């Protein structure tokens, strides 16, 4: 056994989060490092879905909206996610997709800013944002009569002007895994009189976010990555308490009405984060997510412990890559794009490699599942709830073998 494999075995034996792996359907014969795209299936989900389909839908039918708590599920599940984001109860609602929530948040944020100061007619977006955020921001800016400025996230504090209404930033860069300075950028945006809007898709459930602590105004995020909610699981929208009374969604649906069953022709918004709802919730996906969140009720599943293991996993993987691929690193054919500093790294490592798309398929053939981002980036995602140090070692060794440098 190699020294790295021995080290991985020792680290796994000492890992306080190791028992949580049994809460997921994961194959010990395969290394799954794609939880930053789709999390593994929690064992609690299939039985819960069978109950929802067989009993709540199959037998109770329409009665489940009240008797099974379907109607309150968006806010109830939102309150389960809120502590993982450092948010208070009543600030987070689960509904729709991330893209739809970005649209609500950008338009709602512009309206909030313009109500304070009509000069605020500009939206800032970081240039490396996930594409849909950019598409949505462009459309939202056009619809609200705003100009859109695209620039590096680190330049946003210096680019703020009295015209800035909203700054939309990704907390973790989806390509490189770089962790953005949420406290610093948020403070600068607030000092300039604008509103901060953070996309937490690649950080929620992987590291402490501190929405309330840092004064974030608005946030969105998906639940199918580090929260393991399943394919197409609904996203969440966060609205800070100070903005809830004045937040006006551009999609005022009957589910966000103060009296949804009153069927009034005029719209009167609900109180609090419920304004973020639109139409009838996707109950099957929503309740699958609810069951997936049960793992966070375990005492060991504390977000600071998750972050500690995430950093340990990514540190160890980078060490293994250095040991197994010295030639490729020396000649530059393999390059680490993820910052090595802990305060600048999410829960993934991105390597620039030749023929990355073909290499992704070859790694999968060898039992290591990662993903590819064009043109030449391999992403290795580490989900501390179920990823082992042995997985990190095997992934690095398999990469070396696939590149002919074993």
The CA–CA distances, whole Å, from 303 to 85, 209, 383, 392, 394 equal 9, 9, 12, 21, 26
The Cα angle at residue 201 between residues 140 and 43, in degrees rounded to 5: 135
Contacts of 295 by beta carbon, 8 Å cutoff, 6+ apart: 20, 23, 24, 42, 44, 228, 301, 385
Tokens representing 349 are 């490592």
Catalytic residue among 225, 275, 277, 397: 225
Q: How far is residue 400's CA from residue 109's CA, in Å, rounded to a whole number?
A: 47
* 29: helix, strand or coil: coil
Catalytic residue among 379, 388, 394, 397: 379
The full 3-state SS of 270-335, as one line of letters, equals: CCHHHHHCCCCCCHHHHHHHHHHHHHHHCCCCCHHHHHHHHHHHHHHHHHHHHHHCHHHHHHCCCE
Confirm whether 135 is a catalytic residue.
no
Q: Please check whether residue 140 is in contact with residue 107, taking contact to mean a CB–CB distance below 8 angstroms.
A: yes
Beta strands in 1-53, from DSSP E residues, in sequence order: 24-25, 31-32, 41-42
Q: How far is residue 377's CA from residue 337's CA, in Å, rounded to a whole number?
A: 9
Q: How far is residue 77's CA from residue 94's CA, in Å, rounded to a whole number?
A: 7
Q: Please check whether residue 318 is in contact with residue 152, taking contact to mean a CB–CB distance below 8 angstroms.
A: no
Q: Which of 123, 146, 109 is nearest to 242 (CA)?
A: 109
Confirm whether 63 is a catalytic residue.
no
Catalytic residue among 32, 103, 130, 389: 130
Confirm whether 225 is a catalytic residue.
yes
Catalytic residue among 224, 226, 247, 317: 224
Confirm whether 130 is a catalytic residue.
yes
Crossing angle between the packed helical segments 3-13 and 389-402, to the nearest 10 degrees: 160
Tokens representing 310 are 């995430």
Catalytic residue among 96, 199, 371, 391: 199
* H or E element in which residue 98 lies: helix 98-116
The Cα angle at residue 53 between residues 47 and 288, in degrees rounded to 5: 55
β-pairing verdict for 218-221 and 236-239 = antiparallel
Confirm whether 366 is a catalytic residue.
no
Residues marked as catalytic: 130, 199, 224-225, 379
């Amino acid at each position: 056994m190699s020294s790295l494999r021995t080290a991985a075995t020792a680290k796994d034996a000492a890992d306080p989060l190791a028992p949580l792996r049994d809460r997921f359907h994961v194959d010990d014969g395969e290394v799954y490092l794609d939880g930053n795209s789709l999390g593994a299936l929690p064992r609690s989900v299939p039985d819960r879905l069978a109950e929802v389909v067989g009993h709540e839908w199959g037998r109770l039918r329409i009665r489940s909206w009240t008797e099974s708590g379907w109607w309150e599920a968006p806010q109830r599940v939102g309150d389960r996610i809120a502590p993982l984001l450092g948010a208070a109860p009543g600030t987070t609602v689960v509904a729709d997709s991330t893209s739809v929530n970005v649209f609500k948040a950008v338009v709602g944020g512009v309206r909030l800013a313009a109500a304070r100061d009509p000069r605020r007619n500009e939206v800032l977006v970081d240039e490396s944002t996930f594409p849909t955020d950019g598409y949505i921001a462009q459309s939202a800016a056009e619809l609200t009569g705003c100009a859109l400025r695209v620039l590096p996230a680190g330049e946003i504090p210096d680019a703020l002007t009295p015209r800035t209404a909203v700054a939309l930033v990704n907390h973790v860069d989806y390509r490189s895994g770089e962790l953005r300075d949420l406290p610093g950028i948020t403070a600068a945006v607030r000092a300039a009189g604008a509103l901060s809007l953070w996309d937490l898709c690649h950080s929620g459930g992987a590291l402490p976010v501190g929405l309330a602590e840092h004064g974030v105004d608005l946030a969105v995020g998906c639940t199918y990555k580090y929260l393991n909610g399943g394919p197409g699981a609904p996203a969440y929208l966060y609205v800070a308490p100070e903005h809830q009374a004045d937040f006006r969604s551009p999609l005022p649906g009957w589910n966000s009405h103060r009296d949804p069953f009153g069927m009034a022709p005029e719209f009167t918004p609900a109180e609090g984060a419920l304004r973020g709802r639109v139409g009838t919730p996707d109950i099957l996906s929503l309740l699958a997510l609810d069951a997936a969140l049960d793992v966070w009720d375990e005492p060991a599943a504390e977000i600071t412990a998750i972050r500690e293991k995430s950093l340990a996993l990514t540190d160890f993987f980078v060490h293994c890559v250095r040991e197994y691929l010295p030639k490729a690193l020396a000649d530059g054919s393999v390059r680490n794009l993820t910052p090595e500093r802990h305060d600048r790294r999410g829960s993934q490592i991105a390597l620039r490699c030749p023929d990355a798309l073909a290499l992704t398929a070859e790694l999968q053939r060898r039992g290591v599942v990662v993903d590819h981002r064009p043109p030449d980036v391999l992403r290795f995602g580490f989900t501390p709830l179920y990823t082992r140090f042995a997985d990190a070692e095997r992934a690095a060794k398999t990469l070396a073998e696939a590149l002919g440098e074993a």
